[in-house]
Structure 1
Amino acid sequence: MGEHPDAAVVRRACTAFQQGDLDTLSTLLTADVMQHVPGDNMISGHHKGRDACMELYRTEFEETGGTLRVDLESVMPDGRGHVISGHHVRAERGNRTLDMKTGLFFTIVGGKITDIDQCVEDIDAINAFWGR
């Protein structure tokens, strides 16, 4: 059996993000996509719309000076439009470092990502890394 189509969309999106290919990534998101980022820091909150999400990703790359590395470890679809992905994230920002497991909960409709909920191993560490 091949990979479930929803899992394939998430895998393509994660690969595009890791490669900094935001053009490809943007084609996998609906115009009204929403990304929810936990914590109380400069990138946390609800990012509504493809443009807002793309700005979030550009900010993450710029603020980490190209050190952001998000290694995909697992992709698990439920067959009903949801996919959970597990990642190992590493980055540097100024004198701060980030090294932790994270997870994303995706909603897929019509072969595109409509919603992304991010979960992190340590919210305090994320807040300290990104600051205000």
Structure 2
Amino acid sequence: MGEHPDSALVRRGYEAFNTGDMDTLATMMMADCTFHAPGSSQVSGHHKGRDNVLGLFRKLFELSGGSMRTDLESVCVDGRGHAVAAHKWYAERGDRGIEMKGALFFTIVGGKMADIDECVEDIDEIDAFWGTAE
């Protein structure tokens, strides 16, 4: 059997993110896509709209000096428009590095990402790493 379309979408999204290919990511999201980032750092919150989600991704790369990357471990789908992707992500910021397990919960509508919820292993650690708005 072939890969489920929702799983393939998520895998392509991770590949595009890791290469900084925002144009490809834009084609994979609905215009009103929302990304929910946990914690209380400068990158936390509800980023509503494709342009704001892409702006968040650009900021992650900017704050990490382009060092941010994710290693996708698995994608599970339910066949009803939901996918869960488990990963480990890495980044450096100044003289500090971070390595953390996490997951994204996707709602997929019409073959596009409509909503993305992020879960992380340690919210306090990511808040300390990303810091408050400068």
Give the TM bin, normalised by the shorter chain. Answer: over 0.9
Residue 98 of structure 1: CA displacement? 1.0
Residue 66 of structure 1: CA displacement? 1.1
Q: For 2:31, what is the secondary structure of its paired residue?
A: strand
Residue 47 of structure 1: CA displacement? 0.2
Residue in 2 that maps onto 1:106: 106
Residue in 2 that maps onto 1:71: 71
Q: Output the CA distance in 2 between the equivalents of 1:85 and 1:67.
A: 21
TM-score (norm 1): 0.98
Residue in 2 that maps onto 1:122: 122
Q: How many pairs align?
A: 132
Gap regions ≥5 residues in structure 2: none
Residue 130 of structure 1: CA displacement? 0.4
Residue in 2 that maps onto 1:33: 33
Look up the equivalent residue of 1:69 and give its one-letter code: R
TM-score (norm 2): 0.97
Look up the equivalent residue of 1:52 and give its one-letter code: N
Q: Output the CA distance in 1 between the equivalents of 2:5 and 2:67.
A: 30
What value does the CA root-mean-square deviation take over the aligned residues? 0.6
Per-residue CA distance 1:6-28 (angstroms, 9 max, x = gap): 11111111110011111101100
Residue 95 of structure 1: CA displacement? 2.0
Identity among equivalent positions (%) equals 60
Per-residue CA distance 1:30-89 (angstroms, 9 max, x = gap): 000000000010000000000000100000001100111111111111111000001111
Alignment of 1:23-102 (within 5 A): 23-102=23-102
Residue in 2 that maps onto 1:7: 7
Q: Output the CA distance in 1 between the equivalents of 2:69 and 2:33.
A: 23
Q: Output the CA distance in 1 between the equivalents of 2:78 and 2:95.
A: 40
Q: Output the CA distance in 2 between the equivalents of 1:97 and 1:119.
A: 19
